[in-house]
Structure 1
Amino acid sequence: MERKLEGQTIVVVGASSGVGRAVVEVAAAGGAKVVMLSRSADKLAAAAEGIESVTYRHPVDMRNAKDVEAALSAYDCIDHLVLTAVADENARAKPIIELDGEDLERSFDKLRGYFTVIKATASRLLSTGSVTMMCGAAALRPPATGFSLLAAEGAAIPGMARALARELSPVRVNVIMAGVVDTPIHDNDREAIASWAETSLPTRRFGQPSDIADAIIFAMGNPYFTGATLTIDGGLSIT
């Protein structure tokens, strides 16, 4: 790992598992000061095990503005913000006739959380820094049924990122649009998803958190990359 991130402060939201945990591991190995945010204190503690570099952990719900502000109050200068947290998207994967108002309301949770954290960090971000948001590839290629809200949520995040890339300039703002990745969201169907990926995706493999983390590290480190959406989906969007 190149030491481009050495000495930099990186805030990772959704740091306790999956892609967020993978980003923490790579960034810490690169010498960064990593601030880990997630809802569960126990999961954060477990995620920090085995990471040699010093990390800072704050259990917080990204939708709670007061708690987010309190968690970040100790960090006057932030180099990079990484937003990987999910909001139980699969619970809303159902046909529109089965969706209700509460499903619609919950579909905004990720956007709400991202908004809340970006607002809290905007004045702390260094001009050479970046914001990297993660969203799902359902916006590009939703399955036949059941993904209307997930597709809408996925499409909203790149739109916000493009606007913020201009508003927060020279801070860079980008999106990593991920395909099907082996994270805890698939705990109940991991074997079936893996089998599908290995036979149906052009890459013939189930995406791993490290695949997406590599793209996030690139987005943080490339000073000429902003206002963009980078799709890392194993070829899902072309099938």
Structure 2
Amino acid sequence: MELNNSVIVITGAGRGLGLEMAEHMGREGARIALLDCDVAALDSAVAMLNEKGISAKNFAVDVSDELSVTQAFNAVETTMGPLDGLVNNAGIVRDGLLVKAKDGEVVDRMSLSSWQQVIDINLTGVFLCGREAATRMITAGRQGVIVNISSISRAGNQGQSNYSAAKAGVAALTVTWAGELARYGIRVGAVAPGFVETEMTASIREDMLNRITAGIPLRRLGQPSDIAQSVSYIFTNDYFTGRVVECDGGLRL
């Protein structure tokens, strides 16, 4: 796909990885629809991109709500025209052990709300946005691209039952959709980042972050630009579909 003048939707684009992807593909000429639930962050992000000469508009959405997703995509098409691509980036963490015990007594468990919140945003949100994007691409006769953001944690990571399950589901959806949508000329790929320097990792204790970094063969956290480059590669390589690109500095959980 030629990024120049294409309309690309990015969820979770108010900050962090999503905003970096928006800037990276915007510099290649893509017109970016930034979707997020944080309206203030969206306003700031669009202003920053516009100042850099990037065509970007913001749309508020709750990716876990079917009606909100439909309305947001309606607004994108009405304002910007037919959709060419989607990056399913929106995600949250609610980390915790499945069961935590001390001296034989259970002192804590992962709550159902912590489980459900992550599944709703990180997996159901991907399903809803992916379904909406594919529907509109097919209806408009556009041979588009969907990129899902999975994670190295999809292989399982202690303290992340909810996040790992969701990201494993995202990887499975990628393969499934690639097979189903190829007949319409729609390609689907995924990127599985390792530990990336974002607001999410900034909350990790320094000693823990040092241990994590020491276990990465490249001895550094990834940068948002590293992930943005991987996403752009999937968009621009017309023979890429149904695969997950691991961008993790060589780390294997």
- Equivalent residue number for residue 6 of structure 1: 4
Match of 1:49, as an amino acid?
A
Structure 2 contact 91–118 (Cα < 8 Å) conserved: no
Tell which structure's C-alpha radius of gyration is larger: 2
Structure 1 residue 95, shift from structure 2 partner: 3.5
In structure 2, runs of 5+ residues without a counterpart are 101-108
Deviation digits for residues 194-236 of structure 1, max 9, x if unmatched?
5334422101111111110100000111110001011111111
Residues 15-66 of structure 1, C-alpha deviations (whole Å, 9 max, x = no match): 1111110110011111111100001111011122332222110011111221
Matched, 1:77 2:82: yes
Secondary structure of 1:152's partner? helix
In the aligned structure 2, how far is the partner of 1:152 from the partner of 1:61? 21
2:27 paired with 1:48: no
Correspondence for 2:147: 132
Q: Comparing 40-49 with 185-194, which one deviates more in the overlay?
A: 185-194
2:148 equivalent to 1:147: no
Matches within 5 A, 1:53-72: 53-72=54-73
Q: Give the secondary structure class of the aligned counterpart of 1:20.
A: helix
Matches within 5 A, 1:101-116: 101-109=112-120, 110-116=122-128
One-letter amino acid matched to 2:239: Y
In structure 2, give the amino acid aligned to 1:163: T
**What's the offset of the Cα at 1:121?**
1.6
Deviates more, 1:25-34 or 1:180-189: 180-189
Matched, 1:120 2:146: no
Q: Aligned partners of 1:200 and 1:36: how far apart in 2?
A: 34
**Unmatched 5+ stretches in structure 1:** none
Q: Over aligned residue pairs, what C-alpha RMSD do you find?
A: 2.0
C-alpha spacing 1:151/1:96, structure 2 compared with 1 (3 Å)? farther
SS at match of 2:54: coil
Number of positions where the alignment pairs a residue of Structure 1 with one of Structure 2: 232
Q: Does 1:26 align with 2:31?
A: no
Q: Could you tell me which of 174, 177, 186 is aligned with 1:161? A: 174
- Check if 1:219 corresponds to 2:220: no
1:99-146 deviation digits (Å, cap 9, x = unpaired): 13223322312111111111222122254311000012112252xx32
Quick check: 1:181–1:207 contact (8 Å CA) kept in 2? yes
Structure 2 CA distance for aligned equivalents of residues 141 and 203 of structure 1: 22
In the TM superposition, what is the alpha-carbon distance from 1:70 to its structure 2 partner? Answer: 1.4
Match of 1:195 among 194, 210, 233: 210
Moved more, 101-110 or 20-29: 101-110
